[in-house]
Amino acid sequence: MSMRSAGRCRQAVAGLVFALLAASTATGESCRIAYDMGSSGIRAGASGSAVTTQVGIDYLDPLWAGRGLEETVAPTIAALNDLPREAGFPADCARVGGGFSAWRLALEQDAGRLAAILALIHAASGVSVLVIPQLQEGAYGYYGARQLLGDRLTTNHVLDIGGGSLQIAGERSAWGDMLGQKAWHRRLCQEIRSSESVPCALQPMTGAELATARSLLAELLGGIAAALPGPVTMTAISRPVSRGVAPAVARVVPSGAGADVLQRAAISAAIGQIAGLTSSETVVATGNSGDHVVYLLSTMLLVEGVLLATEGESLKVAEADLTNLPGLLADDRAFAWGKRHGCYLERLQMLGLDAYASDPATCPRSEQ
C-alpha cells in the first residue's frame, strides 16, 4: 500500500486516535525519555522536564537519492546515547523514539531493510524506534499545541508543516500527506524544472508555471474536504510559517498580516509580487534569510493551497517551539511497544504502518 493510500484509509479512524491520545497518561514507568526523530534531526525530552536537546541529521537526502538510511545509523546511535546525558536525564528511564516522515518513507521503500536498521539501532542504544503513522503525528501536534498554547489556541485545528510531511489536526479529525516544506519543494522542482536537486532554483516563475503549481497542489490536497468536515479554522504551529511565510508576507503586503494572523488574499498578493524575482531579489524584498529563501515561494504556495482546500480566508500563526515530544511522552501505546520491540519489528514487516495500531498485548509471551 502506498503512503498516500495508507494515509487516506486511516482518516476514518482519526477520531479514535485523538480520543485515545487525549485520555492517555504517562503511567507504568517512573520516568520516560522520548526522541522526536524528524526529517532533519533528533530532539530528546523527558517526562517531568522542560529541557530538550537536539542534533541535526539529514534523513531525507539519502532516501531521495536511493541510498537508504544505513549511512545515518552511526550518528543516530550516537545521538540516542548522548542526548539524554547532555540533558541530565536519569539513566534508568524507559526510552522510545518516534520516527516520522523520513522513517515512513524508508518503510515505504523497503520494510525489511528498515526493520534491520531499527534492530541494529536498538541493539546499540537500547532505544525502541517506532514508525509513527501520519495521523498519530497529527495527534501529537494537536496535543502539544493544546499543552503549550492553552487558551491561546482558539482554532479547531492546527497546521503543522515539517520538512517531509504536512498535518492538519484537530481533536476529532485530521489529514496528512508527504507534503512538507522540502518534499513539496522537491515535487515542484521535478514538475517545473525537471530537476532532482533539492533545493532547486524555482524563481523566477512565470504566470503559467504558477498556474501549473497551483493546479498540482489542488490535486494533491483534494482529500482534505472529505477528511475535515467544515468549518475548519487553523493555527500554524511550525517555523516554515512563523519564521518564513508570515514575516515575508507582512513585509511585502503590510495590510494583509497582523501580529498573529495571515490573510489568504495577502499570501496570494505576496506570491504575485515575488514570483518573478530572483532569490537574491527575494531576500531584499522579504527580509528572509538567504539560507531559507529558496523554499519561501513554494511554502507560500503550499499555505495558500491549504487555505483554499479548507475554504479558509485566514490563518492564525503561533510563534512557539512545538515538537512531537509531549504527545509521544504521553503515548502509552508507544511505550508498550517499546517493551516488545522484537514483536513490533515483525509486525512492521507484515503490517507496515498499521503495526503501531495493533495490540502489543497480543505479542508472544516471550515478548511480554
Same domain, 177 and 46: no
Helix (H, G, I), strand (E, B) or coil at 98: strand
Q: Check pLDDT > 80 for residue 167.
A: yes
Note whether 55 and 107 are same-domain residues: yes
Give the CATH number for residue 206. Answer: 3.30.420.150
SS3 33: strand
Kindly report, residue by residue over 305-360, the tens digit of the pLDDT. 999 999 999 999 997 778 999 999 999 999 999 999 999 999 999 999 999 999 99
Q: Using alpha carbons, select from 181, 168, 162 the residue that is nearest to residue 138.
A: 168
Domain count, the chain: 2
Does residue 26 fall inside a structural domain?
A: no
E strand or H helix at 130:
strand 128-131
In 15-78, beta strands by DSSP E? 32-37, 41-46, 52-56
Compute the C-alpha angle 148/29/38, nearest 5°. Answer: 50
Q: Examine the domain organization and report whether 127 and 202 are in the same domain.
A: no
Are 285 and 353 found together in one domain? no
Give the chain's count of helices (H) and strands (E).
Answer: 18, 11
Residues 126 and 48 grouped into a single domain: yes
Q: What is the CATH number of the domain that holds 114?
A: 3.30.420.40
The alpha-carbon radius of gyration of the chain (Å, integer) is 20
Is the pLDDT at 23 greater than 60, yes or no? no
Q: Residue 113: give the domain boundaries.
A: 31-132+331-367
The model's confidence at residue 290, banded by pLDDT at 50, 70 and 90, is confident
Domain-embedded: residue 77: yes
The count of other CB atoms within 10 Å of the CB of residue 230 is 11
Confidence of residue 288 (pLDDT cuts 50, 70, 90): confident
Amino acid at 113: R
- Region 90-101 average pLDDT: 96
Task: Specify whether the CB–CB gap between 26 and 329 falls below 8 A.
Answer: yes
pTM: 0.89
Is 268 a member of any domain? Answer: yes
